[in-house]
Amino acid sequence: MANANNGFITGTESASEMILILDFGGQYNQLIARRVRECNVYCEVHPCTMPLEEVKKIKNLKGIIFTGGPNSVYKEDSPHYDKEVFNLGVPILGICYGCQLMAHLLGGVVEEAQGDTAREYGKTKTYFNTQCKLFKGLPEQGVTWMSHGDYMSKVPEGFELVAHSDACPNVAIADEKRGFYGTQYHPEVNHTEHGKDMLRNFLYDVCHVKGDWQMGNFCKSTVESLRNTIGPEGRVLLALSGGVDSSVLAALLAEAVGNRLTCVFVDHGLLRKNEGDEVEKAFSKWDINFVRVNAQERFLTKLKGVSDPKQKRIIIGAEFGYVFLDEAIKFDITNKDFFAQGTIYPDVIESGAGNAAQIKGHHNRLLPPEMMEKFSGVLEPLSMLFKDETRALGRELGLPDYIVNRQPFPGPGLAIRIIGDVTKEKCDILREADFIFRDEIAKAGLAGSLSQYFAVLTDTLSVGVMGDGRTYEHLLALRSVNTSDFMTADWSRIPYEVLDRASVRIVNEVPHINRICYDITSKPPATVEWE
Ligand code: XMP
């Protein structure tokens, strides 16, 4: 494997203008990037350790945003940046810590706020100078979201105060001549009224972007660049799980190289009802090598009698590797061929690496290293897209809604939603019950408002009565959560009537279930899955 970029090929070459987000450790770094992208402008988040020389090499750099961060600029070990950045001739917006850093580096004074003055947390009434480009066309008063214990006691030369609050005279600063702006508050969070409009003003009125980051453009140019990279003879091997990311990747590659793409879809028998057929159908419109491996027997045999969830995960992961390896051997890799994987941008940012190559290095466990070596390179064309952008790209490529809007589904599938040992019979029971629950959610029009919802087959049996007879059957749990990041989650307040309809249908239509409960725990202390 001997490519530039450590053998990893991403899709970023297609951006015609770029905003650099330098990350100083703030919790909202991804959010800033998402907001910028929502304004149709391409941006990338890089750690604040990115050397200035690298910044200078960025083609089409239109502006820089310094993010917030937990430090104090006057402390010695706090992250700083090369002052030369202010001589690049591109506008800079500093947010919270980024604002203080800008002030500090340009000769202002930042101090720890004393008492209540100028130290602000949470929603704060703020007054704006609407003559300033950042606030152009916006109301003169509004609420901003603050989170700072330091304040600027002296602003740098050339800067004006352009916003203030009741407690703090310098909530935002601007040097309009040089295009430098700083806000103590976070325009990227929803609590800041018109925050996104302020970012839009920075992008369009200060950085003068065209705003051509749109999925249609990305799709066209990425298909083209994939064709160039793969060449006229190269083939591509992809493990397709049926989830959003790998499906969109498969569609993109199908568009780029048609039947030189081989998708290996392993049906381990632990999928939801109809899922295997749905995935296969979604790809029938492309002329690709779609290999569906029906490996249900193989997986169920390995899982026989295993109750420990960790053990189940290990067995399924290992078996998946063996099945995929068998297919990779048949593929007969040459040095013109590529391996593709569906890394998306949050995977990249969350690793803190800001560099796709370093992250997926350790994800590449699907095939042994000596096999990976045989490929010409690894393609990761989605590695700069957020989840919603990945979905938009899927729509652009004509993937059906049932794939594009698919909720998250764990790799080990139903095996971790069956508590205790896994059998074909239990999988079938759970598949039916889960299908009915999802069907009732869809009929009630709730699908779009819930983050994830599914059924769990517990290993508890309880007494019931059906007709004239006593039953002793499974307890089924229904689970639904609302969350933005799956790190924490709240249980969904599904209307009783909907739960009732699902419950009545499940006990009537699915044999071996005689009792149903609804999980009303949040995460933490529970997790989303039961395992
Ligand atoms: P937990 O149960 O940890 O789940 O609160 C958080 C989210 O992760 C999903 N999940 C997985 N996704 N492979 C995946 O791709 C897995 O092995 C896996 N296990 C859990 C879970 O469904 C939820 O969305």
Residue 350's pLDDT is 67
Amino acid at 363: H
Residue 366's pLDDT is 81
The Cα–Cα gap between 191 and 416 comes to 38
Q: Which of 46, 104, 186, 474 is catalytic?
A: 186
Q: Is 188 among the residues known to form the active site?
A: yes
Cβ of 482 below 6 Å from ligand 1:
no
Of the candidates 462, 461, 450, 465, which has an alpha carbon nearest to the alpha carbon of residue 499? 450
The answer to whether 507 touches 467, Cβ cutoff 8 Å, is: no
pTM for the model: 0.83
Mutate which of 341, 521, 529 for ligand 1? The one with the most ligand atoms within 8 Å of its CB, which is 529
Write the residue with the smallest CA distance to atom 23 of ligand 1: 528
The Cα–Cα gap between 170 and 152 comes to 7
The Cα–Cα gap between 482 and 275 comes to 23
- Residue 451 CA: nearest ligand 1 atom is 24
Residues whose CB falls within 8 Å of the CB of residue 484, separated by 6 or more in sequence, listed in order:
451
Helix (H, G, I), strand (E, B) or coil at 149: coil
Give the Å distance between the CA of 408 and the centre of ligand 1.
7
Give the Å distance between the CA of 174 and the centre of ligand 1.
44
Regions of the chain where pLDDT drops below 70 = 1-14, 115-119, 350-365
Helix (H, G, I), strand (E, B) or coil at 362: coil
- Residue 529 CA: nearest ligand 1 atom is 2
Cβ of 316 below 6 Å from ligand 1:
no
Cβ of 464 below 6 Å from ligand 1:
no
The Cα–Cα gap between 187 and 93 comes to 11
Give the Å distance between the CA of 88 and the centre of ligand 1.
44
- Residue 523 CA: nearest ligand 1 atom is 5
Helix (H, G, I), strand (E, B) or coil at 389: helix
The Cα–Cα gap between 423 and 438 comes to 22
Cβ of 428 below 6 Å from ligand 1:
no
Cβ of 519 below 6 Å from ligand 1:
no
Q: Between vectors from CA 171 to CA 169 and to CA 172, what angle results, nearest 5°?
A: 120
Write the residue with the smallest CA distance to atom 20 of ligand 1: 410
Q: Is 99 among the residues known to form the active site?
A: no
Give the Å distance between the CA of 526 and the centre of ligand 1.
13
